[in-house]
């Protein structure tokens, strides 16, 4: 039950969409809005408010005036109408996993979709209907009951909605493309409060824009995905090497990946060894190079294909074996738990030249915290065979995506950890493509054109059509010119 007497609107806005003066919204207007919701409208004095404004990145501490906990499409439409009519800053929360913290705002209204988390699988048509509050774990739980999956990310607590709107890649990307390549249609509530169907046949410009253009164009209330036969068991797992072997391990990985089939996806992680049961206790916390192998196909075939990568060098441990797909999708969750402080930097690469490998190894030897890591995710394959202008996601020529997971717990370490990540990012830039993955951007603004690349101008045209007043600006924002 709402327990706040007034709500503040945006008034004048600065470039980042934040209010520069307050416009009071009377309690009676908010009370009327609350009465029209099937879900709950929370204010700062209500039970559940602090939980509702908390998200995955512990660095984000924002206090919205209200949180509309939506239960369905009607609630979303009414929340958009309320925000528009009262000139409120709007943030949209799905899984709440976005690194930049765009799911919450100071002042204004958070439209919280986390309760809308249903996943409905049709095994006959091999499609799934997914609501925007669902996580990867929710999706996999339902789809794997039928031995089906679609390309998603690598952390099961990630929200399907945010992942998809930014492009989406993971273990199945080389075989089946990006998440957006498997999106068949979507229901979208626009800034005008209309519910539109978006597909190749209906509102195709909107459908193009939401496949990589982030949350700029509306609130997706339902995603329809194509599914593929995967699992229930797949050949996958980590191979762990000593840190001093990292330079040659990464070179071997690079050379293996250059000729590997689409079914093969082999990633590299540089970090302190986590306290995993299959690792000797004396290496816990010690710098290691982890090669993570995944084969999206027949297990016996995968054993043959992955043999060269597993036979290399003198690993501390090799845990590659058949694993349940849904279980493997959750294997990195303990390393990316909610509540830690996070700052990420990202690059795309056409290849991993020796100088990039050497630089990464050098910085990995000086990670600023025990929770931090550097990973290189192999992409390409089916993803690369989609034209760069087919969807809003533009970086089809990248063979690797690097992410610097800078994570720590003590706020006193903020400056040190952020400075290290930025310095490493700059050191890797000469070998990179110049593009970045929008879902890995920590900064509030300033990297939009790097994220959207050659598709940026067309995204502006779509923004002018569907959100000319920039109601949906709490994202890596495409500014309208209308």
Residues with pLDDT less than 50, the chain: 4-24
**pLDDT tens, residue by residue, 128-146:** 999 999 999 999 999 999 9
Q: What is the pLDDT of residue 98?
A: 87
Q: What region does 330 belong to: left with phi over 0, alpha with psi -120 to 50, or beta? A: alpha
**pLDDT tens, residue by residue, 28-42:** 888 888 888 999 999
Q: Tell me the CATH architecture of domain 119-229+452-466.
A: 2-Layer Sandwich (3.30)
123 and 105 in contact (C-beta within 8 Å)? no
Rounded to an integer, what distance in angstroms lies between the CA atom of residue 297 and that of residue 407? Answer: 34
Q: What is the DSSP string of 3-31?
A: --SEEEE--SB-TTS-BSS-EEEEHHHHH
3-state secondary structure of 434: coil
Q: Which two tokens stand for residue 44?
A: 């700062």
User: Identical fold at 6-112 and 119-229+452-466?
Assistant: no
Q: What is the pLDDT of residue 206?
A: 98
Helix axes 299-310, 246-257, angle to 10 degrees: 140
217 and 166 in contact (C-beta within 8 Å)? no
Q: Which two tokens stand for residue 303?
A: 């054993």
Is the domain spanning 233-440 CATH 3.40.462.20? The answer is yes
Q: What is the pLDDT of residue 446?
A: 73
451 and 436 in contact (C-beta within 8 Å)? yes
Beta bridge partners of 408: 341
The DSSP output letter for 273 is P
Instruction: Say if pTM beats, i.e. exceeds, 0.85.
Output: yes
Rounded to an integer, what distance in angstroms lies between the CA atom of residue 118 and that of residue 138? Answer: 8
Look at strands 109-112 and 90-93 and give their pairing. parallel
Rounded to an integer, what distance in angstroms lies between the CA atom of residue 477 and that of residue 214? Answer: 8
Q: What is the pLDDT of residue 25?
A: 64
**CATH code of the domain occupying 6-112:** 3.30.43.10
Q: What is the pLDDT of residue 17?
A: 40
Q: What is the DSSP string of 167-209?
A: ----TTHHHH--TGGGEEEEEEE-TTS-EEEEESSSSHHHHHH
Specify the DSSP element, H or E, that contains 436. Answer: none
Q: What is the pLDDT of residue 16?
A: 41
User: Could you state, in order of their start, the residue ranges of all structural domains in the chain?
Assistant: 6-112, 119-229+452-466, 233-440
Q: What is the pLDDT of residue 48?
A: 94
The DSSP output letter for 87 is T
């Amino acid at each position: 039950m709402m327990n706040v007497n007034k709500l503040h609107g945006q008034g004048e806005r600065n470039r980042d969409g934040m209010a520069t003066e307050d416009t009071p919204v009377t309690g009676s207007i908010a009370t009327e809005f609350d009465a029209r919701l099937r879900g709950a409208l929370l204010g700062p004095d209500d039970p559940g408010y602090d939980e509702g404004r908390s998200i995955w990145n512990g660095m984000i501490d924002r206090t919205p005036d209200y949180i509309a906990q939506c239960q369905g499409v009607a609630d979303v439409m009414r929340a958009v109408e309320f925000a528009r009519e009262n000139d409120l800053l709007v943030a949209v929360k799905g899984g709440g996993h976005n690194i930049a913290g765009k799911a919450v705002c100071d002042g204004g209204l958070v439209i919280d979709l986390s309760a809308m988390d249903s996943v409905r699988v049709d095994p006959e048509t091999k499609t799934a209907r997914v609501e925007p509050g669902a996580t990867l774990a929710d999706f996999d739980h339902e789809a794997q009951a039928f031995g089906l999956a679609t390309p998603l990310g690598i952390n099961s607590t990630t929200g399907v909605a945010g992942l998809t709107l930014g492009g989406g890649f993971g273990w199945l990307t080389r075989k089946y493309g990006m998440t957006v390549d498997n999106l068949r249609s979507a229901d979208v509530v626009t800034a005008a409060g209309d519910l539109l169907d978006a597909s190749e046949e209906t509102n195709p410009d909107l459908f193009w824009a939401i496949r990589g253009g982030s949350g700029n164009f509306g609130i997706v209330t339902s995603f329809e995905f194509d599914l593929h036969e995967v699992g229930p068991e797949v050949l996958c797992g980590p191979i762990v090497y000593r840190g001093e072997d990292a330079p040659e391990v990464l070179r071997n990985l690079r050379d293996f990946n250059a000729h590997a089939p689409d079914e093969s996806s082999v990633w590299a992680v540089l970090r302190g060894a986590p306290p995993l049961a299959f690792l000797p206790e004396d290496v816990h916390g010690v710098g290691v190079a982890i090669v993570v192998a995944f084969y999206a196909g027949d297990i016996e075939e995968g054993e043959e294909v992955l043999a060269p990568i597993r036979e290399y060098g003198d690993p501390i441990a090799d845990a590659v074996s058949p694993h349940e797909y849904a279980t493997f999708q959750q294997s990195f969750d303990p390393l990316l738990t909610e509540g830690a402080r996070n700052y990420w930097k990202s690059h795309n690469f056409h290849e991993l030249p020796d100088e990039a490998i050497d630089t990464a190894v050098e910085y990995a030897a000086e990670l600023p915290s025990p929770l931090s890591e550097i990973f290189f995710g192999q992409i390409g394959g089916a993803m690369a065979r989609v034209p760069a202008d087919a969807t809003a996601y533009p970086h089809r020529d990248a063979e690797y995506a690097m992410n610097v997971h800078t994570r720590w717990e003590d706020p006193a370490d903020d400056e040190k950890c952020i400075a290290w990540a930025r310095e490493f990012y700059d050191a890797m830039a000469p070998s990179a493509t110049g593009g970045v993955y929008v879902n890995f951007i920590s900064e509030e603004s300033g990297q939009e054109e790097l994220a959207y690349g050659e598709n940026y101008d067309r995204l502006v045209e779509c923004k002018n059509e569907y959100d000319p007043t920039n109601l949906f600006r709490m994202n890596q924002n495409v500014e309208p010119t209308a």
